[in-house]
């Protein structure tokens, strides 16, 4: 309520609604880009639950690593703009830890994944992740060959 009422009182309804629309669009765009590049890329996968138990057989932490990807972790601007959400694997594993610790945690998670032979997915840049997202969407859009 404060995000609309106060601006309407201070600058008028038209300017307040335009400002609100711009902010909502910008936030929506940023968050959708983060979700797409962190989850809908080549290399992530989402296992189906077992039919008998309706549970996923992977351990929780392994499941988090398999279903997420990092991108542009060396890009300070992306890190700042996204509040560290480009470190999506670490965000999923340690949701209550401040993002300022993600770069250090990133090294520990990588080493642990390597030690236990768990695939760790990270795209070096925004554009590499975006290209992977487009490739993945293309693959998902292809018709399934009939038997």
Work out the pLDDT band at 147, boundaries 50, 70, 90: low
How many whole angstroms separate alpha carbon 75 and alpha carbon 124?
9
Is 80 exceeded by the pLDDT of residue 62? yes
How many whole angstroms separate alpha carbon 61 and alpha carbon 95?
12
Position 126 scores a pLDDT of 95
- Sorted by where each begins, the domain ranges of the chain are 2-141
Q: Between 52 and 104, whose confidence is greater?
A: 104
Distances from the Cα of 142 to the Cα of 34, 45, 64, 137, angstroms: 24, 17, 27, 9
Q: Tell me the sheet residues that pair with 122.
A: 70
User: In the predicted model, what is the mean pLDDT of residues 105-118?
Assistant: 96
- Strands (DSSP E) along the chain, which ranges? 70-71, 122-123
Residues 6+ apart with CB under 8 A from 132: 41, 42, 43, 123
Q: What is the pLDDT of residues 21-49, one digit of tens each?
A: 999 999 999 899 899 999 999 999 888 88
Is 80 exceeded by the pLDDT of residue 1? no
User: In the predicted model, what is the mean pLDDT of residues 111-140?
Assistant: 96
- Strands (DSSP E) along 61-103, which ranges? 70-71
How many whole angstroms separate alpha carbon 90 and alpha carbon 110?
10
Is 70 exceeded by the pLDDT of residue 4? yes
Is 80 exceeded by the pLDDT of residue 146? no
Mean pLDDT of the chain, nearest integer: 93
CB 121 within 8 A of CB 70: yes
């Amino acid at each position: 309520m404060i995000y609309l009422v106060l601006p309407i009182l201070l600058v008028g309804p038209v300017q307040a609604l335009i400002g609100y629309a711009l902010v909502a669009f910008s936030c929506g765009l940023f968050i959708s880009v983060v979700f797409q590049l962190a989850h809908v890329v080549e290399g992530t996968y989402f296992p189906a639950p077992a039919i008998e138990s309706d549970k996923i057989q992977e351990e929780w932490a392994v499941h988090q690593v398999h279903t997420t990807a990092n991108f542009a972790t060396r890009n300070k601007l992306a890190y700042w703009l996204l509040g560290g959400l480009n470190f999506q694997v670490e965000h999923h594993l340690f949701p209550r830890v401040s993002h300022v610790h993600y770069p250090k945690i990133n090294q520990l998670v990588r080493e642990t994944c390597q030690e236990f032979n768990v695939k760790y997915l990270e795209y070096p840049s925004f554009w590499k992740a975006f290209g992977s997202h487009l490739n993945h969407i293309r693959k998902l859009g292809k018709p399934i060959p009939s038997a």
